[in-house]
Structure 1
Amino acid sequence: MEEIERKFLVKSDAFKAEAFKQTRICQGFLNTHKSRTVRVRLKGEFGFITVKGISSDDGLSRFEWEKEIPKQEAEALLKLCEPSIIDKLRYEVKVGNHVFEIDQFFGDNDGLVVAEIELGSKNEKFIKPKWLGKEVTGDIKYYNAVLSKQPFSTWAFK
């Protein structure tokens, strides 16, 4: 249940033409303790509850457990979440043997676009598309749990 991923800023919207899927996501956090987060997510017509542990020192991996729950339960749990709710549109783009998930944020995080790629190992090679920008793996200000408390719109220097 270890998740290994790398995170990048996105420097153009060229990925949209390459996307094979897009899904609206609404998510909130029942707990945002630095050692663990508990997330509730509506992803299209599906609900999920996720527990994530503390990140490794390099920010590449952490424990993750996720379970699908009924949409109605996710909607009810979102009402119990800490402020504020994350609203984003997720694009999925296949590049080589991998799929990038690109999140375009709205609301208080409008203007932020972040790409993630999940890997099988920390040293796994992957193709970097031209629209991929600066790597921000391990930079906690780009974690959704932090964006819910310190949204992109409040950052002094973006």
Structure 2
Amino acid sequence: MEIERKFLTKEVPFSLNVYPSHQISQCYISLSPTIRLRRQDQDFILTVKGKGLMAKEEFELPLSREEYEKLLEKAETPPVEKRRYLVPLENGLTAEVDIYEGPLLGLTTTEVEFTSMEEAKAFVPPQWFGKDVTMDKAYKNTALALYGIPEEKE
């Protein structure tokens, strides 16, 4: 079970370059059910996700480069390209700061994964995280891949 909250981050008030990071390219070979194909550095992963916004079931399967490239031919969406920085937080949590590239250049989001719904609901994010967009479907990676950066709603 994946339990996470997602935030629209306008500005990170420190250098991310001191933290570990991963180059990620992902697309979707099915939107219903959600089946994601991801390259993270030199790792290749097929992910099947259940429905939900804050909590959803998730199953991951490692792939060889050849399997990944064959499945890539079946992509239903353009790729989402981003660099993910892993910033440690209190209580053993990690902020995953995603700096998007390509057509999504200019978008930055921060996600935090939790071990329980109670922990997720009780989490008080640092101010720099920005607006909580966990429940906004427009900021799901499937929507970003299909429709680009959402227009801000006031």
What TM-score do you get using the length of structure 1 for normalisation? 0.86
What amino acid maps onto 1:67 in structure 2?
L
Matched with 1:41 is: 38
Overall identity of the aligned pairs, in %? 33
Distance 1:27 1:130 in 2: 29
Seen in structure 2, the aligned counterparts of structure 1 residues 135 and 50 have a Cα distance that, compared at 3 Å, is same
Q: Indicate the structure with greater helix content.
A: 2
Distance 2:86 2:151 in 1: 30
Check if 1:144 corresponds to 2:141: yes
Equivalences for residues 7-156 of structure 1 within 5 A: 7-14=6-13, 16-17=15-16, 20-33=19-32, 36-55=33-52, 59-96=53-90, 97-124=92-119, 125-126=122-123, 128-152=125-149, 155-156=150-151
Q: Cα RMSD between the aligned structures?
A: 1.8
Seen in structure 2, the aligned counterparts of structure 1 residues 46 and 60 have a Cα distance that, compared at 3 Å, is same
Check if 1:4 corresponds to 2:3: yes
Query: How far did residue 29 of structure 1 move?
Result: 0.4
Seen in structure 2, the aligned counterparts of structure 1 residues 19 and 51 have a Cα distance that, compared at 3 Å, is farther
Query: How far did residue 156 of structure 1 move?
Result: 4.2
Contact 1:9/1:132 (<8 A) preserved: yes
The gaps in structure 2 that reach 5 residues or longer are none
Contact 2:16/2:85 (<8 A) preserved: no
Say which is worse superposed, 36-45 or 78-87, in terms of deviation.
78-87
Give the number of equivalent residue pairs. 150
Query: How far did residue 127 of structure 1 move?
Result: 5.3
Report Cα offsets for 1:66-87 as digits up to 9, x if no partner: 1111133223322320131111
Contact 2:29/2:77 (<8 A) preserved: no
Aligned-partner SS, 1:131: helix
Structure 1 segments, 4+ long, off by >3 Å, are 15-19, 155-158
Query: How far did residue 157 of structure 1 move?
Result: 3.9
Contact 1:30/1:82 (<8 A) preserved: yes
What TM-score do you get using the length of structure 2 for normalisation? 0.88
Aligned-partner SS, 2:143: helix
The gaps in structure 1 that reach 5 residues or longer are none
